[in-house]
């Protein structure tokens, strides 16, 4: 295409009208489009699409970090993963963490948002208190909570003793270490859900509250009859985001236990990491990755089914 045709295309563009449009402008728009898209698409293919494809390939090989191996082993890695008790245990730990953390992370967030939304003074302070931990790196929250859960000098046991309970070996005890991680995680991330709920509540038209209060509805009544029903879509969104986020457990569990693998806290992501970067078994690690991916996809499909059913009703 010549420079003159180019200029013509720019000037006429889409506003030139359908009648005037020849292949020139359309082709020009194609070129312009790909120019806008190219940087993203290159990164998308290089760092997302290709790794997904290559990961599938790796999962069928016995590739190691050192470049040794690499031979095709068929489904051997998957067979090994599915027959591996450690894989199942870490999968279970991940699901158990998700169950334990999701409920308080949604309910507490709703409670916090509902209270803050009442128009009480000091909004910025509440927002800062609840959201600030979300800004902290996992390294930081891990250190703070390891210190709090320290059996000898930590605040958690000081509180237990103050109310007359026996001290607990929080992170050292296999019965309580996952619970400790859940507590730290709720503290760390509830602020994000809190802000999502707050935004959803503040999108509810104020006229509805005005009308209700003219009809004599009090605060509770307004919350139950106006706020809560309209939070349905937000709750579905928060629930899904939370489940997906919780399934990705790694940072805090790994760091709060000082990088030591514990049977009761090893998450599936931690097992992926251990298989790949501690045992150097890239192929096997890739296979576990896709077992984990399958779990995520199942959650996604379940979510799609549930939301569609809701819409039909």
Q: Which is nearer to other proteins, 178 or 286 (CB)?
A: 286
Q: Which is nearer to other proteins, 2 or 15 (CB)?
A: 15
Q: How far apart (Å, rounded) are the C-alpha atoms in residues 235 and 239?
A: 6
Q: In 54-92, which positions are buried (b, 16+ CB within 10 angstroms) versus exposed (e)?
A: ebeebbbbbbbeeeeeeeebeebbbebbeebeebeebbe
Task: Return the SS3 of 306.
Answer: helix
Q: Which is nearer to other proteins, 41 or 306 (CB)?
A: 41
Dihedral sign from CA coordinates of 156, 162, 163, 169:
positive
Q: Which is nearer to other proteins, 99 or 297 (CB)?
A: 297
Output the smallest distance, CB 164 to other proteins, in A: 16
Q: How far apart (Å, rounded) are the C-alpha atoms in residues 261 and 270?
A: 8
Q: Which is nearer to other proteins, 158 or 173 (CB)?
A: 158
Q: Which is nearer to other proteins, 99 or 155 (CB)?
A: 155
Q: How far apart (Å, rounded) are the C-alpha atoms in residues 272 and 91?
A: 11
Output the smallest distance, CB 26 to other proteins, in A: 8
Q: How far apart (Å, rounded) are the C-alpha atoms in residues 4 and 11?
A: 11
DSSP string, 166-195: PP--TTTSTTTHHHHHHHHHHHHHHHHHHH
Q: How far apart (Å, rounded) are the C-alpha atoms in residues 247 and 108?
A: 19
Residue with tokens 């819409």: 311
Output the smallest distance, CB 148 to other proteins, in A: 6
Output the smallest distance, CB 159 to other proteins, in A: 9
Output the smallest distance, CB 40 to other proteins, in A: 4
Q: Which is nearer to other proteins, 83 or 220 (CB)?
A: 220
Q: How far apart (Å, rounded) are the C-alpha atoms in residues 108 and 115?
A: 11
State phi, psi for 280 to the nearest 5 degrees: 60, 30
Q: How far apart (Å, rounded) are the C-alpha atoms in residues 252 and 182?
A: 10
Q: Which is nearer to other proteins, 177 or 255 (CB)?
A: 255
User: Dihedral angle at the C-alpha atoms of 222, 227, 230, 236, nearest 10 degrees?
Assistant: -140
**Cβ within 8 Å of residue 202, ≥6 positions away:** 117
Output the smallest distance, CB 292 to other proteins, in A: 6
Output the smallest distance, CB 106 to other proteins, in A: 13
Output the smallest distance, CB 263 to other proteins, in A: 20
């Amino acid at each position: 295409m010549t420079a003159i045709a180019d200029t013509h295309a720019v000037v006429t563009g889409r506003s030139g009208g359908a009648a005037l449009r020849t292949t020139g402008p359309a082709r020009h728009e194609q070129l312009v489009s790909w120019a806008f898209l190219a940087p993203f698409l290159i990164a998308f293919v290089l760092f997302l699409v290709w790794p997904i494809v290559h990961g599938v390939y790796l999962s069928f090989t016995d590739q190691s970090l050192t470049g040794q191996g690499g031979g095709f082993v068929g489904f051997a890695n998957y067979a090994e993963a599915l027959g591996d008790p450690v894989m199942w245990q870490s999968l279970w730990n991940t699901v158990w963490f998700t169950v334990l953390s999701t409920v308080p992370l949604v309910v507490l967030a709703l409670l916090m948002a509902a209270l803050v939304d009442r128009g009480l003074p000091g909004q910025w302070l509440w927002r800062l208190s609840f959201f600030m931990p979300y800004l902290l790196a996992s390294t930081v929250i891990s250190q703070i909570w390891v210190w709090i859960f320290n059996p000898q000098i930590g605040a958690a046991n000081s509180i237990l003793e103050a109310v007359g309970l026996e001290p607990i070996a929080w992170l050292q005890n296999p019965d309580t270490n996952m619970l400790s991680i859940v507590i730290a995680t709720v503290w760390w991330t509830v602020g994000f859900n809190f802000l999502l709920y707050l935004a959803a509540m503040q999108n509810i038209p104020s006229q509805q509250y005005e009308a209700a209060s003219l009809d004599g509805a009090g605060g509770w009544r307004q919350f139950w009859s106006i706020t809560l029903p309209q939070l349905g879509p937000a709750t579905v969104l928060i629930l899904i985001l939370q489940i997906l986020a919780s399934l990705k457990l790694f940072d805090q569990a790994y760091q709060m236990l000082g990088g030591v693998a514990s049977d009761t806290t090893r998450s599936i992501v931690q097992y992926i990491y251990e298989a790949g970067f501690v045992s150097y078994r890239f192929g096997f690690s890739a296979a576990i990755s896709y077992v984990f991916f399958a779990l995520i996809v199942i959650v996604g499909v379940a979510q799609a089914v549930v939301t569609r059913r809701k819409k039909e009703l």
